[in-house]
Structure formats: C-alpha cells, structure tokens
Amino acid sequence: MGIRHHLATPGADVVAVVGDLVALHSSDPGTVFLSAQARVDGFRRQDLETALYDERSLVRMHGMRRTLFVFPAAWAETVNDACTRTYLAAERTRLVGYLESQGLANDGEAWLDDVALRALESIGRRGAATAAEIKEDVPEFGLKLHLGEGKSWGGSFGVSTRILFLLATAGKILRGRPRGSWLSSQYQWVVTAQWLGFDLEHGDERLARANLLGRWLGPFGPATEIDVRWWTGWTAARTRTALRDIGAVKVELNGGEGYVHPDDQDQQPTTEPWAALLPALDPTVMGWKERHWYVGEHGARLFDRNGNAGPTIWWSGKVVGGWAQTPDGSVAIELLEDLGREATQAIENRAHCLEQWLGTHRPIPRFRTPLEKGLTKS
C-alpha cells in the first residue's frame, strides 16, 4: 500500500500519481488537493489546477457509485462506459415521470430533449457556464420539482440539477473551473468535445468494465468480490464477468477469498515505516468495503453513519488515529493506539508540514465524523 499509493514513496508528478491511484474522490473539492498533497513531493495547488483546467490531462466527472472523481482524461471514455452511462436510462425515466406527474410538461420526453439541447447550446456558446447563467438562455432551468413530501429529505429541487446530471451522465458536459477558490464546489459547466477535444463515444461496456477493473486491481489488490462490487457499484453478475475477463487470480485472505491481477503474484518489496495524514474521503481509506484489516476497531470514530471516511492518520498501512484543522488553522491529531516515540514524532512532523501547507485556508470536510468534530471543538 505504501508504495502503490505513493504514501511511502511520494511521486514527482500529480498526473502520474492520480493515474497510479486510478482516481481521486471529488465529492468534497478539498479532498482532491489534500490527497495529492499527501503523495506528491513539493506539491503546489496550482500544479493540480493546471492539470485540470489548462492542460486538461485530468478531468472531473461522475464515475463509480454515481460519485464525483478526478481521473486522467485518457480514462474518461472507459469510466463513462463502465460506470457513468449505466445510470442514464433510469435517471431519464425518473425525471420524465416527475415532469409529467407535476404538470410541468404534457410530453416529458419531448420537453426534456428540447430543454437539454438548448442548455447544451448555451454552454457551448458561452464556453463555460453555471446553472444560473444557463437559465438566462433557457428559462425552464428555473422550474422546481417538489419531491419527498412529508419526508425528512423532501423539498423543492431545481429541474436544472437533474438535467445537468443527465447531460453529464451522457458524457456531453463536464465540470470545468469552480467559481471561487480550490475549496469551492460551484463549478462552471463545459461541453466535453470543446474541453477535451473529443466526444465520449459509447463503446463496449463489458470491455470497459474489464479495463477499469484491471487498472484498479493493481494498486488495490488483493480485494474481495464485495470490495469490487462496492467500489464500482456493479451488480454481482457484472463483477464476476469482469473478474473472469481479466483473468483475476484467487488468493487466500485470512481464511477468506480475494483476487489479484494476474500480473501481480510476485513477492512485494518492503518499505521503511511511513506516516501519512489523509483527508476525508481519501481514495486509500475508501478503497475497500471490507476495511477491518486496516481500520481495526476505529471505524465508529473515523467514519460517519453512511460509511464516509473522515481525516485519518496512518502508520505503515494501518489507520491509527484522526486529525482535524482547528478554527485557528492548527492541525490537531488524536492517536487511537500507543505507537511509541518514533512513530508519534513522524506523525507530528507530518501534521506540522500539512499545517504549513494549508496556511490560511480552512477546508471543512463535507461529511463530519465523531473524532473530527471533537477535535475542532477542543
């Protein structure tokens, strides 16, 4: 893990590091930068911004489990075919039903096609646009859906959010630069073909799933079938087919059964002990569904009720505590195990470096965990 995830051996190039991990979680915009900072030697925020918005060698899009990730742009078509596009039909049918049942359209299919096309044209003309800017050209973007009446999550939801999700799921648009700092999630939308120079063509979904799994199983193997299903969001049948298609090799895992890539059966090199402070939703801590082998008994403190990881402290492949940034900008740590002086000192050094790197910025995790909330109140 230390070598493959660039935690024991930092990388020199942010694009290469992202590729080695397959993707960085982007549900929380700060995670992408903090995950890179933990792995790239001498990392600067502008390095990632250049790769995302100028060189466009990295791209932000929905992928596995409908989650927002940052990928190498070269993998955009594979991810779209393997995961993203599979959500399109059901989401479209659901939206059409809402439009017709709430009286916004007599023919929901025709209405949606017309509005989505004009929204796409608006983004193309502007070069980049927020939902509010698109509404200036497409007034229907201001309409509201009323969902979940009487439920805790119920309320009014903008039609624009649903339409933009459909266009993104179809591979027509992507998230471009945010309005604001690197911690902002108010992204401008861009037309995929204009931004990347090519469309995301609909290819062979089975082949795409095999390619994606083969790429992931290298840095994250050995993994169980449950791990693969959770990370990808695939059905059991699609998961088993993909495992067969890449020739995944069964291995024994503490009495259970897992899989490794067929090219990954040799003895792995050892490393010196290493320390890392990883952000909420980091790809390493979120890499597997069955996490006891690296989280131990600390899950209740470090994850929220939905399984979202908060900021974690690692020592040589195990989660040993958590951290948080206090209101005054300092990085506070809490160790959940007695590690000895050498390990504690290494972790404290990492915390100091992270504090210096953050400076005046205050990233607050989107999903708060008991340990992180406790540290910020102390």
pLDDT at 194: 96
**Cα gap 324→372, rounded to integer Å:** 5
Distance between CA atoms of residues 190 and 177, nearest Å? 9
- CB within 8 A of 171, min separation 6: which ones? 76, 77, 80, 84, 85, 192, 199, 200, 202
Residues of the chain with pLDDT under 70: 148, 150, 152-154, 378
Determine contact, residues 178/29, Cβ cutoff 8 Å.
Answer: yes
Question: Domains of the chain by range and CATH?
Answer: 84-196 (1.10.10), 205-271 (1.10.10.10), 275-377 (no CATH)
Ramachandran bin of 7, using left for φ above 0, alpha for ψ from -120 to 50, beta for the remaining angles: alpha
How far is Cα 249 from Cα 233, in angstroms, rounded to an integer?
21
Mean pLDDT score across all residues of the chain: 94
At 254 the pLDDT is: 83
pTM of the model: 0.93
Condensed to tens digits (0 to 9), the pLDDT of residues 307-357 reads 999 999 999 999 999 999 999 999 999 999 999 999 999 999 999 999 999
Q: Is the peptide bond prior to 365 cis by the omega test (within 30 degrees of 0)?
A: no
Task: Residue 141: name the closest of 124, 127, 154, 122 by CA.
Answer: 122
Going by C-alpha positions, the residue among 218, 262, 301, 260 that lies closest to residue 21 is 218
Give, in degrees to the nearest 5, the angle at Cα 192 between 118 and 218.
Answer: 145
Tell me, what's the pLDDT at 268? Answer: 75
For CA atoms 209, 214, 218, 222, give the dihedral sign: positive
Q: pLDDT digit string (tens) for 151-192?
A: 766 678 889 999 999 999 999 999 999 998 999 999 999 999
pLDDT digits (tens, 9 = 90+) for 220-238: 999 999 999 999 999 999 9
Report the C-alpha gap between 314 and 319 in whole angstroms: 5
Residue for token digits 């050498």? 342
